[in-house]
Amino acid sequence: MNWTALVQVGELAAALDDPRLRLFDARAVAAITPDGPNPALLYAQSHLPGAQYADLNLDLSDLNKAGQGRHPLPDDEVFARRLGSWGVSPAHQVVVYDAGDGSMAAARMWWLLKLLGHQRVAVLDGGLAAWQVAGLPLTAEVRACPEEAPYPARFDRSRIVTADAVRERLDEDSGWLIDVRAAERFRGEVEPIDPVAGHVPGALNRPFAQNLRDGRFKPADELQGELEALLAGRRPSDTVLMCGSGVTACHLLLAFEHAGLHGARVFAGSWSGWIGDPSRPVAKG
């Protein structure tokens, strides 16, 4: 196993019994549908064999932090201890899935592990939905892995973009900042989640759903062509990705990696963090 971006259903099914595999169910409720089914309860009822549950709010965020958006990053030491309690070490292949396309919140966990320098972590392409379409088994059995020491690394802060860093680049030509929210939210026509509508001045819009076809990521070469056109000559390493709260932006980062375009970074606080300071400018249209 050496999966670093996406893994297909058949590949994962063949490796379920490998002791080096650590599998995670990261199903989460999207903020736009807060009354959706409880994902932890859904996990308890049925999940992929061997999967442990990673909670977006409790494990992949620290909601006690103020002013950093709706899903502030967890402290890296806390996340390192959580990984150890799940039995994850640098020697393991990690695979994460959610209900479908990876945006809620499999790609978020994938990114957090990448920030620690963990290479062998991948998202199940198509998620639980693809697994079920393939007629593969599910279980209600919860199988814990032997605990490990806290993960021996800390987040690479150079890969995490802050609101101040975004503000410092506002005078640059547009194109370096890409917002993956739905077009109507980006334009500020509707805002069902955050108290202010609009976008960061100069940002481009590429809704994350454009990475997909029939619930799975488009082929790597096709995504490469689309994303290179979006970059318009910029290097991926000069590019910053954002969304509403730093979750679905990771989906576009995964698409970049799948397409062989390495080095883009995520604005962790994203829109909900940006509007936490009313002095920051807002654009519409």
135: its two tokens: 């007629």
227: its two tokens: 């994303």
Q: Would you name the residues annotated as active-site residues?
A: 243
Write down the residue that tokens 């814990």 correspond to: 144
Report how far residue 109's alpha carbon sits from residue 66's, in angstroms, rounded to the nearest whole number.
Answer: 21
Residues 6+ apart with CB under 8 A from 140: 44, 45, 46, 47
Report how far residue 23's alpha carbon sits from residue 51's, in angstroms, rounded to the nearest whole number.
Answer: 5
Report how far residue 235's alpha carbon sits from residue 262's, in angstroms, rounded to the nearest whole number.
Answer: 9
